[in-house]
C-alpha cells in the first residue's frame, strides 16, 4: 500500500505522518501547499503517477473569521479540493479519509448531533466544509468505477495538539502572561486531541481492525462535553499540575455577546459518537487526552 497524506505540514497532518512512520512499513507520500488540491489536473496527475491506495486529507482552511470575507478561498480548499481528491480516489480505486467539522450544524439544539441530523452551517467556514462533504459523497456514489474503494468523512471538533494553532496553545500563551482571562461559557462542544484523531484516520485507511468501516459520515471527538470556559479552566489546572508557570489566577465566564466575532459560532455543537463506538472505537475522555498533551508539552520546556 501507498498512503498519501494531504496537508502534511498542518497540525493534523504532522500527527498522521509521525504516527504512520511508527506503525506502517509501506510508502508514505506527504504533500502540502506545494500541491494545489484545488486544481483538478494537478491532483489527477499526482494520483496517476503515484497510485496511492489510500488518501488521508488533512488539508483545510481553518481561519473561521477570515472566511467570512474570503469564502471563495475557503471553498477552494475545503470544498473544491476534497471534490478533486474524491474524483481522483475513484479513478485510482483508493480509499479516501477526510476530516470535516461540527460547524456544518446550526448549533441551536441541546442534544448531541448524530450523523443523520439536519445540517445548516451558520458561517462561511461551515458552508465551505459542508461543500467538501457533499462533493465526496457525490463523487463516490455516482461513479461506477470505485471498485472496493471507500470514503470516510470524520466530523470532529475543537482540535488541539502539537504543530499548529489551537485554543490550548492560545490559553498556554495567555496564562503565562495575564492575571485574569475572560472566556465564553455559552458555546459547548467536545475537544479532540489531534493524536487520537490521527490514529482513527489511519485505522480507517485500511491499517488495523477498523478497516471494515463502511463508506459514509462518522463523528469522532474525545468523550465528554464542555464550554470554552470549562476547557480553559481545565487547561489551567492541567498546566499547574504539570508544573508549568501560570500567572492567571481567574478565568471568568462571559457570554458570546461580550466577545463578538465576524463569524457566528454554534452555541451547541456536541457530536454524538455512538455510531463509531458501535464499531469498537471508544474515544477516551478529553480531560485525559488534555493532560497527556500538557504533560508532553511541559517536558519540552
Q: Give the pLDDT confidence of 262-289 residue by residue, as tens digits.
A: 999 999 999 999 999 999 999 999 999 9
Strands 151-156 and 226-227: unpaired
In sequence order, which ranges of the chain are alpha helices (DSSP H)?
A: 11-23, 40-50, 71-75, 81-92, 124-142, 167-175, 194-204, 228-241, 274-277, 286-299
Predicted pLDDT of residue 143: 76
Predicted pLDDT of residue 207: 78
Q: Is 125 noted as a catalytic residue in this protein?
A: yes
**Tens digits of per-residue pLDDT, 102-127?**
999 999 999 999 999 999 999 999 99
Residues 6+ apart with CB under 8 A from 190: 102, 157, 158, 221, 222, 223, 224, 225, 226, 270, 271, 286
What's the rounded mean pLDDT across residues 197-211?
A: 83
Closest listed residue to residue 34, CA positions, set 8, 12, 52: 8
What's the rounded mean pLDDT across residues 35-54?
A: 97
Q: Are 193 and 235 in contact (CB under 8 A)?
A: no
Predicted pLDDT of residue 52: 96
What's the rounded mean pLDDT across residues 167-188?
A: 98
Q: Under CATH, what is the fold of the domain 2-166+191-224?
A: Rossmann fold (3.40.50)
Q: How far is CA 26 from CA 2, 6, 9, 163, 193, in A?
A: 6, 17, 20, 24, 25
Closest listed residue to residue 91, CA positions, set 131, 25, 142, 33: 142
Q: What are phi and psi of 238, to 5 degrees?
A: -70, -40
Q: Are 77 and 131 in contact (CB under 8 A)?
A: no
What count of residues does the chain have? 301
C-alpha cell at 268: 451547541
**Statement: residue 144 has pLDDT above 70:** no
C-alpha cell at 238: 492541567
Counting residues of the chain whose pLDDT is more than 70, the rounded percentage is 97
Q: Catalytic one among 103, 113, 125, 268?
A: 125
Residues 6+ apart with CB under 8 A from 161: 11, 12, 15, 168, 193, 194, 195, 293
d(CA 137, CA 132): 9
d(CA 266, CA 264): 7
Predicted pLDDT of residue 128: 98
**Statement: residue 210 has pLDDT above 70:** no
Minimum mean pLDDT range among 60-64, 139-143, 200-204:
139-143
Q: How far is CA 105 from CA 5, 75, 121, 244, in A?
A: 27, 17, 5, 36
**Statement: residue 38 has pLDDT above 70:** yes
In three-state secondary structure terms, 279 is coil
d(CA 94, CA 50): 11
Counting residues of the chain whose pLDDT is more than 90, the rounded percentage is 90
d(CA 70, CA 68): 6
Kindly report the average pLDDT of the chain as a whole number: 95
End-to-end CA distance of the chain: 38
Amino acid at each position: 500500500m501507498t498512503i498519501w497524506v494531504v496537508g502534511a505540514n498542518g497540525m493534523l497532518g504532522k500527527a498522521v505522518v509521525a504516527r504512520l512512520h511508527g506503525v506502517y512499513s509501506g510508502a508514505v507520500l506527504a504533500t502540502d501547499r506545494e500541491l494545489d488540491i484545488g486544481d483538478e489536473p494537478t491532483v489527477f496527475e499526482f494520483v496517476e503517477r503515484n497510485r496511492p491506495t489510500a488518501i488521508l486529507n488533512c488539508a483545510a482552511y481553518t481561519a473561521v473569521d477570515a472566511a467570512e470575507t474570503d469564502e471563495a478561498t475557503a471553498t477552494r480548499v475545503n470544498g473544491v479540493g476534497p471534490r478533486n481528491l474524491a474524483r481522483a480516489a475513484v479513478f485510482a480505486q483508493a480509499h479516501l479519509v477526510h476530516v470535516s467539522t461540527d460547524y456544518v450544524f446550526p448549533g441551536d439544539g441541546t442534544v448531541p448531533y448524530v450523523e443523520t441530523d439536519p445540517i445548516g452551517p451558520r458561517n462561511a467556514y461551515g458552508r465551505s466544509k459542508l461543500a467538501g462533504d457533499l462533493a465526496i459523497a457525490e463523487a463516490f456514489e455516482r461513479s461506477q468505477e470505485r471498485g472496493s474503494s471507500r470514503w470516510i468523512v470524520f466530523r470532529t471538533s475543537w482540535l488541539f495538539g502539537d504543530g499548529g494553532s489551537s485554543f490550548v496553545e492560545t490559553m498556554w500563551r495567555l496564562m503565562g502572561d495575564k492575571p485574569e482571562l475572560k472566556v465564553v461559557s455559552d458555546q459547548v462542544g467536545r475537544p479532540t486531541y489531534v493524536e487520537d484523531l490521527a490514529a482513527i484516520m489511519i485505522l480507517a485507511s485500511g491499517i488495523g481492525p477498523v478497516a471494515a468501516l463502511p463508506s459514509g459520515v462518522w463523528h469522532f471527538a474525545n468523550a465528554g462535553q464542555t464550554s470554552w470556559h470549562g476547557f480553559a479552566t481545565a487547561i489551567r489546572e492541567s498546566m499547574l499540575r504539570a508544573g508549568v508557570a501560570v500567572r492567571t489566577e481567574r478565568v471568568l465566564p462571559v457570554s458570546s455577546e461580550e466577545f463578538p466575532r465576524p463569524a457566528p459560532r454554534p452555541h451547541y455543537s456536541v457530536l454524538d459518537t455512538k455510531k463509531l463506538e458501535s464499531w469498537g472505537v471508544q474515544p477516551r475522555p478529553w480531560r485525559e487526552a488534555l493532560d497527556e498533551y500538557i504533560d508532553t508539552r511541559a517536558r519540552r520546556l
